[in-house]
Structure 1
Amino acid sequence: MGRAPKRLQIIADRLTRTSWHNGVAMSLYDRSTGREYHVGSGALDSRTPYFATGTTKLYTTSILLQLIEEGKIGLDDPFLTYLGHDKQYEELLVREGVDYTDRVTIRHLMSHTSGFGDFFLYKYQARTLKHAIGAGVDTAWSFDEVVQRSRSHGAVAVPGQSRKALYTDTNFHMLGRVIEAIEGENFGEVLRRRVIDRLGLTSTYLYCDPSDTRPINFMSKDREVRVPRTMASFQADGGIVTTSREALIFIRGFFEGYLFDKRILPRLYHWRPMYFPTEYGVGLMQIKVPWWMSLPHRLNAPPSRFFKSAPRSLGHMGLGGTICLYAPEAGVYIAGTVNQLLDPARSVIASIKMIEDVAYGGREDGAHRRGAALVGSPPAR
């Protein structure tokens, strides 16, 4: 473990000096040196619990990959194979008068190509971040209500037919129920047994009790909001609590084969555009920030780095500025949160700065280090 470079601390401190951040925590691992770096500022440090939100989907994906490995589930199996053709699911996905529900596969759910409408927000209003959580409205829902809302919001595409990944929390909520049906226990227990215990995590868990005050409150612009009933309802699509230190252990375990055979990873790298500059594969994101978008944060960088694209990152980001990423060409892992609901770009910018500082340091040439890329990592396009 190494002492965090001063530059990393400066990045975090600049955020917490504003009224929009009560805390920032980031943990990084440099594959070329084997060093970890942990940065905390404000009310957050690398051991402070926070809501993992959308990065929870990576944990769910890791469980599904284990089930595939064990022959308990198939990527191209209809999800109703495991939930049964119950009346509850009839006409759940109807497009132009045709019910496509029984054609939705596990792959469709994992890749956000199912065509389901979103139970959480009507037809992607989340992309403008105009959501109840940001206003501090705390509501709860059950699985049955997820199904009812998704049906009433309507299908947005025929399964597998959209050119883009149409992100909806409904997909991973359904996958959580599939996992429970296969394993015969609730998602929190499966998570503990298949991920938490395997990696020796002690501060990571599924948030189920609204009276639990351990996770730090979200910031929404310049005010704190507490929405425990909402967070206890997300489950497999966004309900995990973790720390940056333990999220770093997880993302390394995901890509380095500690949770499943990493040779399966290339099967996930079938990218579709989602919202720029993010693409979605099967259960994970790819973030490719072009040079012109990253230029504003490079004003103090060596001139040779001005026109280089930011390091490509694989993993996931989530509501509230959470990230859990691996930059294969840079050979750097990063996990943590900037804990701000209404400006997701801040976590991406902070992660780019920190990845580049760890990977390239003060080198004037900014050259990529040899041999850092993970075996099995997809080629850059």
Structure 2
Amino acid sequence: MSSATASIQKLADRLLASKWHNGVTLCLYDCETGKETHVGAGALSTRSPYFAPALSILVTSAILLQLREEGKIDLDHPFQRYMSFPGQVAELHVKDGIDRTDRITLRHLMSHRSGFGDFFLFKNLARTVHHDFANGVDSAWGFDEVLQRTRSHGAVAAPGVGRRARYADSNFHLLGRVIETVEGKSYADVVRDRVIDRLGLYSTYVYCDPSDHRPLDLMSRSRQIHVPRTMASLQADGGIVTTAREAVTFLRGFFEGYLFDKRILPHLYTWRPIFYPVVFGTGLTQVQPPWWMTIPHRLGYKPKFLLKPVPRMIGNVGIGGSFAYYAPDVRAYVSGTVNQLSDPARAVALAVHAFDTLRYEIRPEQFGVLAQSLPGQSFDMPPSKPACPDRMAASDRTVEFR
């Protein structure tokens, strides 16, 4: 084991030593060398399946971008246009006595600017659902119940209004139904055909069967909880199961042009604050905590890490402590999970530590001079050649983001 791998492994082992973790895993891919660093602790290795809500948002976004590229959808059209029964979502967004449902576009949903109140994640709006989930209450819900809960919690803002994004699980639930309607098949089948098979993934899938015991049960503080019906209900906004290795493969597919024309990526970076220090774009997030915010998590690191600036990380972190990030200034990917519901900051801290190790231990002589060593390359879009021969190279296509 290299000293750099040992440094990351030490942090994973430290997490596992607490009662809050039954497994920790991480895969780090260095674009400069093509080398991967694999770390696992407890019940998880980089080949172990885990619940990856962090990846679900990116998978759903990738599919929508493919459909847009094929002319099957327009992101600025109302989402109702792509529903089999538009009346099913009537009066879904009512504020001040005005129904604005028909003004909500696919882009609003992807960027969490629909104005829906969240029924699941945030305690101030979710009230009991997230609380029950964290306490191991296993409940299931279908699409109709999602609509019912969304209506009952009410709208909090007009669509597209304000400078902030407002997270709501309803947004990606609706996008999942749009995908199913346009493609005429289940969300799980679309993910298999458009993502899993294209990238050659073997352990990644949409969790649909509560009798499936392959993913490791989540931890909620010091308690291991078994909530398969809840996880099977998440689907497009949190239902992906994967491994740390395959999550990195997906990230490369997302950012390097294997799934859609990567020249569209800068148009997704319309960052709006959602909760500090996270900002949300169109279908993905960016986080760059200030150095002082990382000090509690960097205590015990090597002293040279302690006051270093944090690289900006683009991707997502999800409930359950899964994370999937590309660091454009470092030119590296990291994915994995701390498998903990109650403290997502631990997941971000582990990702930051991996990038710190890469910058200051694996290739310190290169960091800070990448721009000179790779002239003409965009760090938001790593250079690559599309893997699928039936897909035209990005340079051969004209991209119009609309």
TM above 0.5: yes
The CA deviation at 1:119 is 3.4
1:13–1:41 contact (8 Å) kept in structure 2: yes
- In 2 relative to 1, CA 128–316 (structure 1 residues): closer, same or farther, beyond 3 Å? farther
Provide the rounded CA distance (Å) in 2 between the counterparts of 1:334 and 1:352. Answer: 9
State the one-letter code of the partner of 2:378: V
1:129-208 → structure 2 map (5 Å cutoff): 131-208=131-208
After the TM superposition, which of the residue ranges 85-94 and 43-52 deviates more from structure 2? 85-94
Q: What is the RMSD computed on CA atoms of the aligned residues?
A: 2.4
Q: CA deviation at 1:295?
A: 3.0
Matches within 5 A, 1:9-158: 9-83=9-83, 86-121=86-121, 125=125, 131-158=131-158
Q: Distance in 2 between matches of 1:220 and 1:328?
A: 32
More moved, 82-91 vs 276-285: 82-91
CA distance in 1, matches of 2:3, 2:207: 32
| Structure 1 counterpart of 2:228 | 228
Q: Is contact 1:176-1:235 (8 Å) kept?
A: yes
Q: 1:49 to 1:70 in 2, by over 3 A?
A: same
Q: Percent identity?
A: 56
> How has the CA–CA distance of structure 1 residues 362 and 255 changed in structure 2, closer, same or farther, with 3 Å as cutoff?
closer
Other-structure match for 1:309: 309
In structure 2, the residue matched to 1:357 is: 357
- SS of 1:274's partner is strand
What is the CA–CA distance in structure 1 between the aligned matches of 2:146 and 2:112, rounded to whole Å? Answer: 16
Change (3 A) 1:237 1:130: closer
**8 Å CA contact 2:78, 2:104 repeated in 1:** yes
Deviates more, 1:255-264 or 1:360-369: 360-369
Aligned CA distance change for structure 1 residues 186 and 26 (closer, same or farther; 3 Å)? same
The 1:273/1:127 distance shift into structure 2, 3 A limit, reads farther
Q: 1:114 offset after TM fit, Å? A: 0.2
User: In structure 2, do the counterparts of structure 1 residues 41 and 376 end up closer, same or farther at CA, with 3 Å as the change threshold?
Assistant: closer
TM-score, normalised with respect to structure 2: 0.88
**2: distance between equivalents of 1:70 and 1:110?**
18
Q: Show the counterpart of 1:289.
A: 289
CA gap 1:66/1:153 in 2 versus in 1, 3 angstroms: same
SS at match of 1:232: helix
What is the deviation of 1:87?
Answer: 2.6
Instruction: Assess, with a 3 A threshold, how the Cα gap between structure 1 residues 87 and 299 changes in structure 2: closer, same or farther.
Output: closer
Show structure 2 runs of 5+ residues with no match.
382-402
Q: Pick from 369, 377, 380: which aligns with 2:380?
A: 377
Mark the CA change 1:131 to 1:369 in structure 2 (over 3 Å): closer, same or farther.
farther
The residue type paired with residue 255 of structure 1 is F
Instruction: Return closer, same or farther for 1:274/1:122 CA change in 2, 3 Å cut-off.
Output: closer
Using the alignment, how far apart are the partners of 2:367 and 2:128 within structure 1?
Answer: 36
Could you tell me whether the CA contact under 8 Å between 2:125 and 2:153 is conserved in 1? no
Q: Deviation string for 1:222-264 (max 9, x for gaps)?
A: 1110000001111101111111111111011110111111001
How far does residue 294 in structure 1 lie from its aligned partner after superposition?
A: 2.0
Q: Which amino acid aligns with 1:167?
A: Y
Give the AA of the match of 1:103: R
Partner of 1:277: 277
1:335 equivalent in alignment to 2:338: no
SS in 2 for 1:361: helix
How many residue pairs end up in the alignment? 378
**1:331 Cα deviation from its structure 2 partner:** 1.2
- Contact 2:120-2:129 within 8 A present in 1 as well: no
TM superposition shift of 1:121: 4.8
Question: Cα gap change, 1:232/1:303 in structure 2, threshold over 3 Å: closer, same or farther?
Answer: closer
Unaligned runs of 5+ in 1: none
What CA distance in whole angstroms lies between the structure 2 residues aligned with 1:363 and 1:86? 54
Change in CA separation of 1:240 and 1:130 when aligned onto 2, cut-off 3 Å: closer
C-alpha change, 1:361 and 1:125, in structure 2 (3 Å) is farther
Distance 1:35 1:102 in 2: 48
What is the Cα deviation at residue 355 of structure 1?
Answer: 1.1
**Alpha-carbon shift at residue 125 of structure 1 (Å):** 4.8
Query: Secondary structure, in 3 states, of the residue corresponding to 1:5?
Result: helix
